[in-house]
């Protein structure tokens, strides 16, 4: 009994010290901006967002007439699709997992390998790719131009620009820039409510920025450094190096994803091979899956995380989930 009291006391002291330590740190870098940035040639407006939302959900822009942007980036599935690999027109399976588009407005690189530098550029990929929408860009423009209601919307949204593939992807990008994570328990914690997350989540945050070194890759309000890491998963996809990047560090390296709403977007990693957050934490925190055979980035090292450590970090990650965006998918489209 006496030993139990001593252990309990030690745990309480540890929790107090952790909370005190976290409180003394500068928490401002974790605060989400109120608005997302937009490029000078595509400023976010209500008309552009409304137009882009319709195009985002419009399956008529695919060869089968059954696949839209929302097929792989579903608001009900963490803006991913819940599958290991993306599935496009006619059931064609893609080579990689569908990454969430949540908070993509804050990212400098798009796609797992970072081959696109803007949302507008990114839109062009899935439209043309054989295993996704499999369309010719000219055909997409013809479809949109054939709908009088769409033509009117484009004139209002982009009054000084022609209706072409550039304005089509601009509109979709304008909508995607509004796909922003909502306030989470962690945000309340950062704002000063220290009871907003559990004691285990608080300890998990301490581990996240301390022993586990998660913050080495998942830093700032969007919980990503915007760079690329190899976590030694063990597949044949060489990632960023496929873009003919010469740096050896880019071999099997993929973009560091945001951790906002991360519990909603399983399975994880570019190959969709990990089903749970616990397993993802264990792989990243304890040196990768197959480090000796496939190597890892310098940031991926064995931190000797215990089962308890992994559980607490997982609880912290869950505290990054806020309510879903109040978006209702359209069922009627312009004609």
Active-site annotation, residues: 132
300: left (phi over 0), alpha (psi -120 to 50) or beta: beta
| Residues 294, 288 contacting (CB under 8 angstroms) | yes
What is the distance between the alpha carbons of residues 182 and 261, in angstroms, rounded to a whole number? 9
Q: What letter would DSSP give residue 255?
A: E
Judged by DSSP in three states, 170 sits in helix
Closest to 206 in 3D by CA, of 16, 21, 26, 31: 21
Q: Beta partners for 228? A: 255
Q: Beta partners for 312? A: none
What is the distance between the alpha carbons of residues 95 and 92, in angstroms, rounded to a whole number? 10
CA 235 to chain centre: 21
Q: Prior bond to 92 cis, omega within 30?
A: no
Give the chain's radius of gyration (CA, Å).
22
Distances (CA, A) of 26 to 22, 44, 212, 260: 8, 31, 19, 20
> Which helix (H) or strand (E) element contains residue 229?
strand 228-229
Which residues have CB under 8 Å from 253's CB, separation 6+?
Answer: 228, 229, 230, 239, 240, 241, 297
Distances (CA, A) of 52 to 29, 98, 128, 318: 31, 20, 18, 30
Judged by DSSP in three states, 228 sits in strand
């Amino acid at each position: 009994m006496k030993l139990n009291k001593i252990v309990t006391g030690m745990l309480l002291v540890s929790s107090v010290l952790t909370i005190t330590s976290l409180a003394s740190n500068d928490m401002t870098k974790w605060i989400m901006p109120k608005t997302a940035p937009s490029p000078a040639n595509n400023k976010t407006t209500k008309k552009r967002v409304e137009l882009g939302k319709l195009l985002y959900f419009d399956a008529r822009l695919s060869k089968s007439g059954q696949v839209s942007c929302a097929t792989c980036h579903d608001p009900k599935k963490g803006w991913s699709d819940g599958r290991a690999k993306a599935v496009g027109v006619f059931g064609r399976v893609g080579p990689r997992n569908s990454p969430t588009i949540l908070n993509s407005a804050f990212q400098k690189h798009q796609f797992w390998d970072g081959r696109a530098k803007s949302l507008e550029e990114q839109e062009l990929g899935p439209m043309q790719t054989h295993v996704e929408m499999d369309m010719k860009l000219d055909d997409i423009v013809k479809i949109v131009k054939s709908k009088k209601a769409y033509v009117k919307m484009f004139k209002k949204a982009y009054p000084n620009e022609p209706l072409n593939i550039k304005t089509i992807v601009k509109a979709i990008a304008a909508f995607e820039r509004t796909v922003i994570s909502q306030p989470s328990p962690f945000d309340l914690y950062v704002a000063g409510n220290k009871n907003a997350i559990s004691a285990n989540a608080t300890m998990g945050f301490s581990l996240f920025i301390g022993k586990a070194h998660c913050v080495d890759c998942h830093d700032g309000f969007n919980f990503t450094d915007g760079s690329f890491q190899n976590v030694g998963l063990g597949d044949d996809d060489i990632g960023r190096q496929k873009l003919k990047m010469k740096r050896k560090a880019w071999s099997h390296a993929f973009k560091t994803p945001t951790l906002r709403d991360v519990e909603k977007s399983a399975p994880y990693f570019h190959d969709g091979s990990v089903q749970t957050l616990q397993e993802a934490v264990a792989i990243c925190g304890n040196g990768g899956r197959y480090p000796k055979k496939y190597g890892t980035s310098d940031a991926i090292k064995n931190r000797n995380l215990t089962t308890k450590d992994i559980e607490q970090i997982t609880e912290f990650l869950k505290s990054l989930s806020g309510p879903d965006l109040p978006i209702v998918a359209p069922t009627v489209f312009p004609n």
